[in-house]
């Protein structure tokens, strides 16, 4: 890692196991988290608000469940009754919801201590935030879940909640060198999330490793998603080419390392080819997202357009031109594509692609390109960013494991296999 790095992720799974047998004090976990926030967040700017120490300690003492006492940060597009929620917009500065979003309730019921809210691109679109990448302070952390990814990468919290409508979980996880998990669409509830596109908005999870994020997913979903050290040898499908942005030579080299690592560990790689309908989904995603955002953010556009960023205001101007017939056609195309999705997974456990076209851009005028993520969000597939690799310029680039909808357990297991294989290969 480069000289100006603040990268120091903490394993939430290890903390959970320690807290479970009494060897780790729940209050100490919270104090460690708050101390790390005090130490590094003035430079990273990942947090929008932090819970008072006394309230955090009281919550830790009362906590019980699989996440008992574990500090978690929540993206600032989810309502929290005890912390302000601004959705990344000056329109909602100081806004105090009266209730929690459903995912926040699930966290509290599982014993998590919500220590603060994290920065988000405005309404979870693409406007850059003030947050810096802990791996390299001169690079973007990605978006829109900028603060959630950065908070985990810097060790402020072991777990964080983000979201994905295009590539807002996988992309920042890739740039920040941590695990990011976008579940199957609908697996985790979005009630109480500021809506951008109701067909795509998905809760996203961040943690240090795939095993960590799988544990968090299991605690919140009630499904058997945790992964162990042993598992089936996966067969991963690797596309011959992509109908969207071409992967850089940098990302291609990283993918080649992952392929070699997987094969070296006993997994198999199968080359696959995308049919033409995969290319059609690029425009379909834009059409559906635009039509729905025009309605979801209708109040803000109609009454406070001047308070929107130029990037979002311009998007909304174009979004208003999408008519219902065009939207219906795109939705029909999405439905047909989901019906044909099984073809992509014939003979393979999961698919393997770069998570992003390249390592994180230097500078802060962009959150990066979600090209390698949008189609999978449209198709509702579970996706996992597998960390552990770097580009030639020293920036983190992940590889993405993609599973069949509602096959999240196998997707996470394949991702954990890939992560272990990469670590062994680089050792």
Digit-coded pLDDT (tens) for 110-124: 999 999 999 999 999
The residue from 33, 75, 89, 148 that is catalytic is 75
Please pick, among 146, 148, 168, 199, the residue that the annotation labels catalytic.
Answer: 168
Phi-psi region of 242 (alpha: psi -120 to 50; beta: other; left: phi over 0): beta
Confidence class for position 427, pLDDT limits 50, 70, 90? confident
Residues facing residue 269 across a β-bridge: 236
**Tokens standing for residue 87:** 């959705």
Q: What is the pLDDT of residues 128-164, one digit of tens each?
A: 999 999 999 999 999 999 999 999 999 999 999 999 9
Quote the pLDDT of residue 365.
93
Place of tokens 């998990």: 181
Question: Would you call 182 a catalytic residue per the annotation?
Answer: no
Provide the residue count of the chain.
427
pLDDT of residue 22: 52
Cα(first)–Cα(last) distance of the chain, in Å?
A: 15
**Angstrom distance (rounded) from CA 2 to CA 21:** 37
The tens digit of pLDDT for each residue in 385-394 reads 999 999 998 9
Cβ proximity of 141 and 149 under 8 Å: yes
Percent of the chain with pLDDT over 70: 98
Token pair for 235: 């067969």
CA nearest neighbour of 21 among 55, 57, 68: 68
For residue range 225-236, list pLDDT tens digits in order: 999 887 789 999
Residue 23: is its pLDDT beyond 50? Answer: no
Q: What is the pLDDT of residue 232?
A: 81
pLDDT of res. 130: 97
User: Rounded to 5, what percent of the chain is helix, strand, coil?
Assistant: 45, 15, 45
- What is the C-alpha radius of gyration for the chain, rounded to an integer number of angstroms? 20
Alpha-carbon distances of 166 from 205, 223, 256, 288, 372, rounded to whole Å: 15, 25, 25, 11, 9
Could you report the per-residue pLDDT of 395-412, keeping only the tens digit for each?
A: 999 999 999 999 999 999
SS3 at position 113: strand
Percent over 90 (pLDDT), the chain = 95
- Mean of the per-residue pLDDT values of the chain: 96
Distance CA 393, CA 362 (A): 10
The one catalytic residue among 86, 89, 110, 144:
144
Instruction: Determine contact, residues 186/86, Cβ cutoff 8 Å.
Output: no
Catalytic, 246? Answer no
Show Cβ contacts of residue 332 under 8 Å, excluding neighbours closer than 6 positions. Answer: none
Q: What is the rounded CA–CA span in Å between residue 170 and residue 399? A: 9
pLDDT number for residue 19: 67
Q: Is the pLDDT of residue 2 over 80?
A: no
Token pair of 271, please?
């080359």
Q: Which residue has the tokens 């090209």?
A: 371
Cβ(104)–Cβ(187) below 8 Å: no
What average pLDDT score do residues 185-189 get? 98
Which among 116, 63, 105 is positioned nearest to 220, based on CA atoms?
Answer: 105
Asked if residues 175 and 356 have their Cβ atoms less than 8 Å apart, the reply is yes
Q: Position of tokens 């030579």? A: 249
Domains of the chain: 12-221 (3.90.1300.10)
| CA gap 17, 281 in Å, rounded | 42
Q: Does the structure show a pLDDT above 90 at 4?
A: no
Catalytic annotation on 144?
Answer: yes
* Cβ(64)–Cβ(70) below 8 Å: no
Residues 250-297: tens digit of each pLDDT: 999 999 999 999 999 999 999 999 999 999 999 999 999 999 999 999
């Amino acid at each position: 890692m480069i000289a100006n790095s603040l990268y120091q992720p903490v394993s939430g799974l290890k903390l959970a196991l320690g807290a479970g047998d009494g060897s780790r004090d729940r209050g100490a976990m919270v104090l460690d988290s708050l101390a790390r926030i005090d130490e590094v967040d003035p430079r990273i700017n990942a947090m929008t608000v932090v819970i008072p120490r006394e309230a955090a300690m009281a919550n830790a003492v009362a906590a019980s469940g699989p996440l008992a006492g574990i500090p978690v940060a929540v993206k600032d597009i989810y309502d929290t009754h005890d912390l302000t929620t601004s959705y990344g917009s000056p329109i909602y500065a100081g806004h105090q919801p009266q209730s929690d979003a459903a995912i926040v309730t699930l966290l509290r019921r599982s014993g998590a201590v919500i220590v603060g809210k994290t920065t988000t691109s405005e309404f979870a679109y693409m406007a850059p935030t003030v947050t810096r990448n802990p791996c390299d302070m001169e690079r973007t952390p990605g978006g829109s879940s900028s603060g959630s990814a950065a908070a985990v990468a810097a060790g402020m919290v072991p777990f964080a909640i983000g979201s994905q409508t295009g590539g807002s979980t996988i992309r920042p996880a890739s740039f920040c060198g941590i695990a990011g998990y976008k579940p199957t669409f609908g697996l985790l509830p979005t009630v109480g999330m500021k809506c951008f596109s109701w067909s795509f908005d998905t809760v996203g999870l961040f943690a240090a490793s795939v095993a960590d994020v799988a544990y968090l997913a299991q605690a919140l979903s009630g499904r058997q998603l945790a992964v162990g050290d042993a598992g089936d040898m996966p067969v991963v499908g690797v596309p011959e080419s992509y109908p969207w942005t071409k992967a850089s030579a940098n990302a291609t080299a990283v993918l080649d390392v992952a392929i070699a690592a997987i094969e070296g560990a006993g997994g198999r790689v199968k080359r696959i080819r995308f049919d033409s309908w995969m290319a059609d989904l690029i425009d379909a995603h834009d059409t559906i997202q635009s039509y729905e955002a025009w309605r979801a953010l209708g109040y803000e556009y109609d009454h406070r357009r001047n308070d929107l960023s130029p990037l979002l205001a311009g998007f909304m101007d174009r979004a208003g031109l999408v008519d219902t017939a065009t939207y219906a056609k795109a939705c029909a195309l999405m439905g047909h594509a989901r019906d044909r999705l099984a073809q992509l997974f014939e003979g393979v456990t999961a698919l393997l692609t770069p998570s992003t076209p390249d390592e994180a851009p230097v500078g802060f005028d962009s959150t990066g390109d979600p090209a390698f993520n949008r189609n999978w969000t449209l198709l509702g597939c579970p996706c996992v960013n597998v960390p552990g690799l770097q580009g030639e310029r020293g920036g983190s680039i992940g590889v993405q494991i993609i599973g069949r909808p509602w096959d999240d357990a196998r997707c996470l297991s394949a991702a954990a296999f890939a992560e272990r294989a990469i670590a062994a290969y680089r050792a």
